[in-house]
Chains A and B, each alone.
Chain A
Amino acid sequence: MSADLDPAIGRTEELVVEAREAQRSRRPGSLQRVGDHLKREWQLYVMLIPTVLWLLIFLYKPMYGLQIAFKDYSIFRGVAGSPWIGFEHFQTLFGNDQFLRALKNTIIISFYGLLFGFPMPILLALMFNEILNQTFKKSAQTIVYLPHFVSSVIIAGIVITAFSPSAGIVNTIMGWFGIEPIYFLTKPEWFRPIFVGTGVWQEAGFQSIVYLAAIAGVSPTLYESAVVDGASRWQMMWKITIPSILPTIIIMLIIRIGNMLEVSFEMIILLYQPATYETADVVNTFIYRQGIQGGQYDLAAAAGLFNAVVAFVLVMTANTISKRYSRTSLW
């Protein structure tokens, strides 16, 4: 119990276990030993090899291919044969208005996503927790989890239809109040609200599961004694439920910040158009256009490398902080 409460003790235990494991795997083994081991356990390696090969071919080989970010890549010379040019692509990128705009948009869109997308599932979980009618609660949950499982193409299809200027329901309703129709998806100022709103609408319900699980873990005796003391439900929510799930909230916040650069660019590709690039184009959509559509592989790979390194630093920092905070790493 004390180990759970005291992070320092926890860390020590972890270190001891790590040290032991390290010792076990580094036992002075002669070739003979390895041979014996393989003879006995070869089946395990047969099971492992496909996965390892897959990782090497499909994920690690592209990492080797990342070197084109520092090369003047030509398809005919290949990855290894193309000449090195140092940081030229990075210099180009940071002098490129489109890239800088994409970087700015990535940060702004993820910030809005965090600002509106983060509190919503917490709020929903707290509200679900206050519902006493189980049938109502179950049906409501079944419905709000659903959009998570629907593909981005369908969600985008719904958004495009609903916001269409001629037939869309949004403009129809605005018409009732005498507001002129707006072609929302061609208006740069409307892109971010629509994109962020869609994301919150799609994911808030499903993300509330984590918090509902945390709430389910709160000891019922806390509520029982609060009832005896005459606490109202509002007070119990603020004084018991929220403080109890605070660690979960903080860890989720850290994860969210760690994954900040992961704007769902699939959805952006589906919703944006040249008229809205100004506010909608993010780093990954920029990479897609320049690289895959435009064929400037080396430049786009450099943008991707920049993105990946920043993301890696964010994720690792998030993981370290959460490890220190909770003793549970994220993976």
Chain B
Amino acid sequence: MINMNLYSRGDKLFVIVNMVLIGLFTISTLYPFIYIASLSLSTGFEARAGNVIMTPVGFTIEAYKQVLSEPLFWSSYMNTFIYTIGGTLMSLAFIIPGAYALSRPQLYGRRFWNLMVAFTMWFNAGLIPFFLNMRDLGLLDSYFGIIIGFAVNGFNIILLRNFFEGIPQSFEEAARMDGANEFQVLWKVYVPLSKPAIATVALFCIVSRWNGFFWAMVLLQDEEKIPLQVYLRKVIAELSDDEEFATSLLTAAYSFETVSAAIIVCSIVPILLIYPFLQKYFSKGILLGGVKE
């Protein structure tokens, strides 16, 4: 970079103002999370009184005790893990071989198959036909329904297909000489060479599964099967709609605010744990995203 001393006074002012503005934006991004974390560790009384600004007031972990003592919290957390892991593995099982086949020049009707994938990105039937279809398939209220129903996504297929297409043919020649079939070429040559792209797709799946809420809410009526996001929504909706109930929940130790803040913290932590990977691969993914048909 260019030496700072070379800058005129105007430049210095520009650089400083710029840093301050970015600093403010960064703080405004971070602050709501700090606020929620502090709320979750404050007493219900202080939270209700609006005394929590920056740091916990009257430090207590009662809200967490309350959250963790709720069986539905644990079952929904468990379910989220099932949907996230099962869903991601299911997606990869479809997408990797599918994208590989679509990347092969010798595939008959390749343009047609590719168009079939791409068309789903431009046009979709919408909420109602999708919902009725899931119902007709008997996939309401089912773990399998959630896992299979959202397994394939045109964008991810095209992203991976483009990556496979970019791998030079010369890499597979040795394997072909040894008489490897397509499955072996995919598994032993393409998959190892595509680890970053596959990681990107897997992380896309993990995040959308972990955060997925709308369809889980619509398709799952059985409380035992709902994921964490739906549970969180239920708690917040129930409590914020019913002021009386929210007030009745208020004890000196915890309140509606501190309890929902505690659930929010619990559901954010896993995302924070994988965040370093997310940041690394997502910025690549979003750029690979300007994909060509």
Q: Is A124 interfacial (CB-CB < 8 Å)?
A: yes
The stretch of A93-101, A103-111, A163-171 in contact with B is A163-171
User: Are A284 and B127 interface neighbours, CB within 8 A?
Assistant: yes
- Residues in chain A near residue B95, CB distance under 8 A: 51
Q: Is B257 interfacial (CB-CB < 8 Å)?
A: yes
The stretch of A5-13, A39-47, A187-195 in contact with B is A39-47
Q: Is B36 interfacial (CB-CB < 8 Å)?
A: yes
User: Are B10 and A234 interface neighbours, CB within 8 A?
Assistant: yes
Q: Identify the closest chain B residue to A61 (Cβ).
A: B133
> Which of A25, A131, A161 is within 8 Å of B22, CB to CB?
A131
Q: Is A182 interfacial (CB-CB < 8 Å)?
A: no
Q: Is A257 interfacial (CB-CB < 8 Å)?
A: no
Distance to closest chain A CB from B263 (angstroms)? 8
User: Are A47 and B128 interface neighbours, CB within 8 A?
Assistant: no
User: Are A291 and B131 interface neighbours, CB within 8 A?
Assistant: yes
- Residues in chain B near residue A22, CB distance under 8 A: 111
Q: Is B201 interfacial (CB-CB < 8 Å)?
A: no
- Residues in chain B near residue A54, CB distance under 8 A: 94, 148, 151-152
User: Are A146 and B2 interface neighbours, CB within 8 A?
Assistant: no
Q: Identify the closest chain A residue to B150 (Cβ).
A: A58
Q: Identify the closest chain A residue to B110 (Cβ).
A: A25
User: Are B48 and A162 interface neighbours, CB within 8 A?
Assistant: no
Q: Is B7 interfacial (CB-CB < 8 Å)?
A: yes
- Residues in chain A near residue B113, CB distance under 8 A: 48, 52
Determine the distance from Cα of A266 to Cα of B110 in the docked complex, in whole angstroms.
36
What is the number of residues of chain A that contact chain B, defined by CB distance less than 8 Å?
A: 99
Determine the distance from Cα of A305 to Cα of B233 in the docked complex, in whole angstroms.
29
User: Are A169 and B129 interface neighbours, CB within 8 A?
Assistant: no
User: Are A234 and B101 interface neighbours, CB within 8 A?
Assistant: no
B residues near A (Cβ < 8 Å) are 1-2, 4, 6-8, 10-11, 14-15, 18-19, 21-23, 25-26, 28-30, 32-33, 35-36, 39, 47-53, 93-95, 97-98, 100-102, 104, 106-111, 113, 116-118, 120-133, 136-137, 148-149, 151-152, 155, 157-158, 181-183, 186, 207, 210-214, 218, 229-230, 232-233, 236, 240-241, 255, 257, 260-261, 263-264, 267-268, 271, 275, 278-279, 282-283, 286-287, 290-293
The contact sample of 27 A-B pairs, CB cut-off 8 A, is A22-B111, A25-B108, A25-B110, A50-B94, A50-B97, A50-B98, A51-B95, A51-B97, A52-B98, A55-B116, A62-B126, A62-B132, A68-B132, A143-B26, A145-B279, A158-B35, A160-B236, A160-B260, A161-B39, A162-B32, A166-B50, A167-B48, A172-B50, A227-B2, A273-B241, A300-B128, A328-B290
